[in-house]
Amino acid sequence: MPLTATPAPGPQLLAPRDHTLILIDFQSQMAFATQSIDGVGLRNNAGLVASAAAGFGVSTILTTVAEKSFSGPMFTEVTAPFPGQAMLDRTSMNCWEDTGVIAQVNEFGKDRIVLAGLWTGVCIVGPALSAIAQGYEVYFIADACGDISAEAHERAVQRMIQAGARPMTALQYLLELQRDWGRSETYDMTTGIAKIFGGGYGLGITYARTMFGASEGGH
Mean pLDDT, residues 5-24? 97
Residue 28 counted as domain residue: yes
Based on the domain organization, do 147 and 83 belong to the same domain?
yes
Based on the domain organization, do 137 and 163 belong to the same domain?
yes
How far apart are alpha carbons 177 and 14 in whole angstroms?
A: 7
Based on the domain organization, do 64 and 111 belong to the same domain?
yes
Provide the number of structural domains found in the chain: 2
State pTM to two decimals.
Answer: 0.95
Mean pLDDT, residues 159-187? 97
Residue 36 dihedral angles phi and psi, to the nearest 5°: -75, -15
**What pLDDT is recorded for position 28?**
93
> Which range of residues forms the domain containing residue 196?
184-219
On the question of pLDDT at 149 being above 90, the answer is yes
Residue 206 counted as domain residue: yes
Mean pLDDT, residues 164-175? 98
**What pLDDT is recorded for position 191?**
95
Q: What is the pLDDT of residues 52-80, one digit of tens each?
A: 999 999 999 999 997 777 889 999 999 99
On the question of pLDDT at 219 being above 70, the answer is no
How far apart are alpha carbons 149 and 8 in whole angstroms?
A: 40
Residue 1 counted as domain residue: no
Helix (H, G, I), strand (E, B) or coil at 16: coil
Based on the domain organization, do 36 and 116 belong to the same domain?
yes
Domain boundary, last residue among 147, 164, 179 = 179
Q: What is the pLDDT of residues 128-144, one digit of tens each?
A: 999 999 999 999 999 99
Based on the domain organization, do 154 and 50 belong to the same domain?
yes
How far apart are alpha carbons 69 and 161 in whole angstroms?
A: 33
Q: Mean pLDDT across the chain, nearest whole number?
A: 95
Residue 209 counted as domain residue: yes
Based on the domain organization, do 97 and 160 belong to the same domain?
yes
**What does the DSSP assignment read for 56-104?**
HT-EEEEEEESIIIII-PBPHHHHTTSTTPPPEEES-SSGGG-HHHHHH
**What pLDDT is recorded for position 68?**
79
Dihedral of the CA atoms 48, 78, 120, 70 (nearest 10)?
160
Residue 11 counted as domain residue: no
As a residue count, the chain comes to 219
Based on the domain organization, do 151 and 127 belong to the same domain?
yes
Based on the domain organization, do 39 and 60 belong to the same domain?
yes
On the question of pLDDT at 12 being above 90, the answer is yes
Type of residue found at 163: A
Residue 50 counted as domain residue: yes
Based on the domain organization, do 207 and 163 belong to the same domain?
no
Contact 34, 118 (CB under 8 A): yes
88, β-bridge pairs: 63
**What pLDDT is recorded for position 206?**
86
Based on the domain organization, do 138 and 80 belong to the same domain?
yes
Residue of 144, 79, 94 lying closest to 117 (CA atoms): 144
Residue 122 counted as domain residue: yes
Based on the domain organization, do 65 and 94 belong to the same domain?
yes
Binned at pLDDT 50, 70 and 90, residue 217 comes out as low
CATH code for the domain of 78:
3.40.50.850
85-to-10, 37, 59, 63, 80 alpha-carbon distances in Å: 33, 27, 12, 10, 9
On the question of pLDDT at 88 being above 70, the answer is yes
Calculate helix-pair angle for 39-56, 184-197, nearest 10 degrees.
170
Residue 9 counted as domain residue: no
Q: Is 139 exposed, middle or buried (0-12, 13-18, 19+ CB in 10 A)?
A: buried
Residue of 201, 198, 157 lying closest to 36 (CA atoms): 157
Based on the domain organization, do 23 and 55 belong to the same domain?
yes
